[in-house]
Amino acid sequence: MKVLISGASIAGPTTAYWLTRAGHEVTVVERAARPREGGAPIDVRGEAVEVAERMGVLDRIRSVRTNTQGILYVDRSGRRSTRLYPGDFAENPGRDIELERADLVSILYDAAKDDAEYVFEDSIETLAEDSAGVDVTFARGGEARFDLVVGADGLHSVVRGLAFGPGGTHHLGMYVALVPVDPALGRADWGVMHNSPGRVAGVYSHRGSATGFFMFRSPELSYDYRDVDQQKKLLISEFAGEGWQVPRLLDAVRATDDFYFDSVSQVRMPSWTRGRVALVGDAGYCPALLSGMGTTLAMVGATALADALAAGDHRAAFARYDLAHRPLVDHAQAGVMRSAAVLIPATRFGIWSRNQLTKLLPLAAAARRSTRRRAQV
Ligand SMILES: Cc1cc2nc3c(=O)[nH]c(=O)nc-3n(C[C@H](O)[C@H](O)[C@H](O)COP(=O)(O)OP(=O)(O)OC[C@H]3O[C@@H](n4cnc5c(N)ncnc54)[C@H](O)[C@@H]3O)c2cc1C
């Protein structure tokens, strides 16, 4: 089949890898000029580690893993309030892998680029489907016909909008911003975070570099997705007057041209496929940035779709894809508001309670490990 994939981040190249290996002719169209770097470290968890192994990229992923020791929460003057260790909350401690997002994007791009055709700086403009295929026009003026179209173009997916209509996204009442910062603002291999009610600012240091991180609670805001200066102003006014290193992090926001700002949202769809179009990754089932599961869902979902297509025609395959992948998506989406309560409590009392409760987490984790050991015996 001729397959068009929109998006070259995590879901797109993983889908391209599997579909080219199955003998399909794959084109990947990406709006940016190259695979987009940037972002804080991300996690490859559980079944996604198995996917990486099947793709033959696990050793490369492991070789660039970060060495995060944990998260320190500090007060306005920088004094430690509490800390969290990865083992306190990881579902598969020792097996899950954290790495820089840019590293994973480039590993997956390398895995797929020789067998798929990549087209950068372009985007799907229209889709017109009939019983035998999909006619596609592109923003730069081209047109072509494909047997299937896969939307792997993230939270604001163009393919989702064109094939399914508006809707599907659910704002979770928070916004996030990321900016590269001077590692001296943080502490090597630690996340350092400062909360005030409804806000968190932090520095995540990894492999010699560092990402400044902001989140704040807010109802849905109206702003221009393309107007980065407007987004910067919005963030700066939200965090004005905060203590700790926040003024210096805001200086980095003012100075950067590598700024990421987005709503913390989930995508919930009753079906990820319609006709000859399928959605993969954040485009179909974004679990929200703070779930730590977006990458895992994207890699596992892309593989589930390709496995399903290997077994037969696209109609039956799309149904199998949904059946195979939905339990993991539901699980990942369900846990997000619990993470929000820990990361970004809405009140002073919430921050205090979080600090007290996190002190008990190492005890809870030890109890879980001992129960697991007893069950194995
Ligand atoms: C710059 C950036 C930084 C991120 N930082 C973090 C982070 O720090 N922590 C975290 O947990 N998650 C982060 N994410 C999200 C994370 O990558 C995803 O949740 C997850 O890995 C699933 O990946 P995905 O491929 O489905 O979607 P995404 O990673 O969002 O990728 C979508 C891709 O589609 C492209 N695209 C968008 N619209 C079009 C279009 N119209 N035509 C063609 N291509 C299009 C985008 O440029 C992007 O390459 C970030 C995403 C991006 C793009």
Write the DSSP symbol of residue 339. Answer: H
Query: Which of 28, 34, 94, 88 has the alpha carbon at shortest distance from 65?
Result: 94
3-state secondary structure of 71: strand
Residue 156 in domain: yes
What mean pLDDT, rounded, does the chain reach? 93
Residue 325 in domain: yes
Asked whether the beta carbons of 277 and 129 are under 8 A apart, the reply is yes
Residue 18 in domain: yes
Q: Does the Cβ of 206 fall within 6 Å of ligand 1?
A: no
Residue 362 in domain: no
Asked whether the beta carbons of 296 and 177 are under 8 A apart, the reply is no
Q: Which domain holds residue 288?
A: 2-66+99-169+266-337
Report how far residue 64's alpha carbon sits from residue 286's, in angstroms, rounded to the nearest whole number: 25
Query: Mean pLDDT, to the nearest integer, of 274-292?
Result: 95
* Both tokens assigned to 194: 């400062």
Q: Which helix (H) or strand (E) holds 337?
A: helix 336-343
- The partner residues of 306 in beta bridges, in order of sequence, read none
Q: Is the dihedral of CA 340, 346, 347, 348 positive or negative?
A: positive
Q: Does the Cβ of 211 fall within 6 Å of ligand 1?
A: no
C-alpha of residue 151 to centroid of ligand 1, in Å? 12
Residue 357 in domain: no
Residue 73 in domain: no
Residue 312: phi and psi, rounded to 5, are 160, -160
Q: How many domains does the chain have?
A: 1
Report how far residue 171's alpha carbon sits from residue 185's, in angstroms, rounded to the nearest whole number: 31
Pocket perturbation via mutation, ligand 1, pick of 6, 101, 121, 343 by most ligand atoms within 8 A of CB: 101
Residue 17 in domain: yes
Report how far residue 183's alpha carbon sits from residue 163's, in angstroms, rounded to the nearest whole number: 43
> For position 84, what pLDDT does the model report?
84
Amino acid at 307: D
Residue 284 reports pLDDT greater than 70: yes
CA–CA distances in Å: residue 214 to residues 196, 202, 263, 296 = 11, 6, 12, 23
Residue 152 buriedness (CB in 10 A; 0-12 / 13-18 / 19+):
buried
Strand extents, DSSP E, the chain:
2-6, 25-30, 41-44, 70-74, 80-84, 97-100, 117-120, 124-130, 133-138, 143-146, 148-151, 169-181, 190-196, 199-206, 209-217, 260-267, 273-274, 277-279
Residue 33 in domain: yes
Query: Mean pLDDT, to the nearest integer, of 14-26?
Result: 98
Query: Mean pLDDT, to the nearest integer, of 149-160?
Result: 97
Report how far residue 305's alpha carbon sits from residue 18's, in angstroms, rounded to the nearest whole number: 9
Write the DSSP symbol of residue 87. Answer: G
Q: Specify the ligand 1 atom closest to the Cα of 213.
A: 8
Lay out the sheet containing 124-130: strands in order across.
124-130, 133-138, 143-146
Q: Does the Cβ of 295 fall within 6 Å of ligand 1?
A: yes
Report how far residue 187's alpha carbon sits from residue 244's, in angstroms, rounded to the nearest whole number: 14
Lowest mean pLDDT among 115-124, 134-143, 335-344, 367-376: 367-376
Query: What is the per-residue pLDDT across 314-331, written as a single tens digit (0 to 9) for each?
Result: 999 999 999 999 999 999
Give the CATH number of the domain where residue 324 resides: 3.50.50.60
Report how far residue 151's alpha carbon sits from residue 41's, in angstroms, rounded to the nearest whole number: 24
> For position 377, what pLDDT does the model report?
62
> For position 262, what pLDDT does the model report?
93
> For position 48, what pLDDT does the model report?
98
C-alpha of residue 376 to centroid of ligand 1, in Å? 39
Query: Mean pLDDT, to the nearest integer, of 147-152?
Result: 98
> For position 89, what pLDDT does the model report?
61
The label of the residue with tokens 């339990």 reads: 327
Beta carbons within 8 Å of 240's beta carbon, 6+ residues apart: 250
C-alpha of residue 247 to centroid of ligand 1, in Å? 28
Report how far residue 210's alpha carbon sits from residue 203's, in angstroms, rounded to the nearest whole number: 6
> For position 221, what pLDDT does the model report?
94
Query: What is the per-residue pLDDT across 170-216, written as a single tens digit (0 to 9) for each?
Result: 999 999 999 999 999 999 999 999 999 999 999 999 888 999 999 99
Pocket perturbation via mutation, ligand 1, pick of 9, 160, 299 by most ligand atoms within 8 A of CB: 9
Q: Which helix (H) or strand (E) holds 17?
A: helix 11-21
Asked whether the beta carbons of 110 and 13 are under 8 A apart, the reply is no
> For position 335, what pLDDT does the model report?
83
- The partner residues of 136 in beta bridges, in order of sequence, read 127, 144
